[in-house]
Amino acid sequence: MRLCVTGGAGFIGSAVVRLAIKRGHEVLNLDALTYAACLENVSDEEASALYRFKQCDIRDREGVQEALDDFKPDIVMHLAAESHVDRSIDGPSDFIETNINGTFNVLEAARKYWEEAGKPERFRFHHISTDEVYGSLPADPEVKFTEGTPYDPRSPYSASKASSDHLVRAWHETYGLPVVITNCSNNYGPYHFPEKLIPVVILNALAGQPLPIYGDGSNIRDWLYVEDHAEALLLVAERGEVGRSYNIGGDNERTNLELVQAICSILDRVQPRSEGLYSDLITFVTDRPGHDARYAINASRIRDELGWQPSVTVEEGLERTVTWYLENEAWWQPLLERKGVGERLGTGKAKSA
Ligand SMILES: NC(=O)c1ccc[n+]([C@@H]2O[C@H](COP(=O)([O-])OP(=O)(O)OC[C@H]3O[C@@H](n4cnc5c(N)ncnc54)[C@H](O)[C@@H]3O)[C@@H](O)[C@H]2O)c1
């Protein structure tokens, strides 16, 4: 099949590109190459006849239209987005422009392409979203996000993603565009940009720097290994029911403190410090404003209807991830120079954009 992947130079998009090429699909990677992009994530795929790349900003409707008309995809997998909650607090406008207006452009370009192609039966628009659109859960472990949970986004990032989900649904209901939507929990794994919690903790630990934990570390996230997410995404893109959304999660709830302690234990074993334990570096810092307390996914729909389940436990996934960062300094070292990386963002004190 021919897949157009927006945001294919990012963390999750590149995992999708790598898996799709491995499966023999033809891929057009459409990415603006923002601060969060790394074409190195797909450097092995570059040589493949199945792969092509086009630098394109989804805020440029004509550019997207040209790319779709030229490539003629069977499926558009839309991942391009501003993705960092802390950056959305300091500068929400990029999130509105890319995540909302950009998604509108990709939808309109896809609709025109699909209509002019005679509405091919197999065409799909797959919108990749987050569980953060559902808001924050109480502590009760029985309560999890289902596909029917009302939307209640609480950060500029999650509000922009929620808006884009609504647009995608509206394009299905109004224009008949064959869409599928997925809402996934927190991902982690190789090629995770070093501004997100897990890579920050690994790299700060290796540098002997403080390991910052927001608030008291009690916030709970449901962690999913990125390659398991990529598997789920291809499955939904190919076999998901049109008009339906699917929650994807790892069933791996951990508090941030537990997660950081687990990373510290792995590092204590594989690369011990000369003195003390890595957990000695844990430092509690001022919480993020509006920090959601708990996310947890009920993934029974994708499991029961499409037969997907995660293949990696969080212990195994963290071990693989720590090993990957230890072995790939050449990948992450240059990224530490990018704007904002290593700085405390999202305190709400930055000037609004
Ligand atoms: N990271 C997670 O834990 C997670 C969980 C659930 C859903 N998601 C969603 O998955 C998608 C990918 O997330 P990620 O973590 O890989 O993000 P990322 O920040 O690592 O990558 C985003 C990619 O999109 C590109 N991009 C940004 N703005 C663009 C624009 N205007 N035009 C074209 N390309 C642009 C960037 O260059 C980058 O390559 C996002 O839509 C995100 O909301 C992420």
Give a yes or no: residue 182 inside a domain: yes
What are the pLDDT digits (tens) for 198-237?
999 999 999 999 999 999 999 999 999 999 999 999 999 9
Task: For 249-283, write each residue's pLDDT tens digit.
Answer: 999 999 999 999 999 999 999 999 999 999 999 99
Report whether residue 64 contacts ligand 1, using a CB cutoff of 6 Å: no
Q: Which domain holds residue 69?
A: 2-187+225-251+292-312
- Tell me, yes or no, whether 78 lies in a domain: yes
Query: Would 165 be classed as within a structural domain?
Result: yes
Residue 31 predicted with pLDDT over 70: yes
Counting the structural domains of the chain, the total is 1
Q: Of the ranges 37-41, 155-159, 301-305, 339-343, which one carries the lowest mean pLDDT score?
A: 339-343
- Specify if 106 maps to a domain: yes
**CA-248 nearest atom, ligand 1:** 6
pLDDT value of position 352: 54
Q: Is the CB of 263 under 6 A from ligand 1?
A: no
Taken in order 268, 270, 271, 274, the sign of the CA dihedral is positive
- Mutation to probe ligand 1, out of 4, 16, 34, 226 (largest number of atoms < 8 A from CB): 34
Q: How far away, in angstroms, is 278 Cα from ligand 1 center?
A: 30
Residue 246 CA to ligand 1 center (angstroms) comes to 18
Q: Is 117 a member of any domain?
A: yes
Query: In this structure, what CATH number is given to the domain that contains residue 25?
Result: 3.40.50.720
Supply the pLDDT for residue 147.
98
Residue 280, domain member (yes or no): no
Residue 215 has what pLDDT?
94
- What is residue 227's predicted lDDT score, i.e. its pLDDT? 98
124 domain-assigned: yes
State if pTM tops 0.85. yes
199: in domain: no
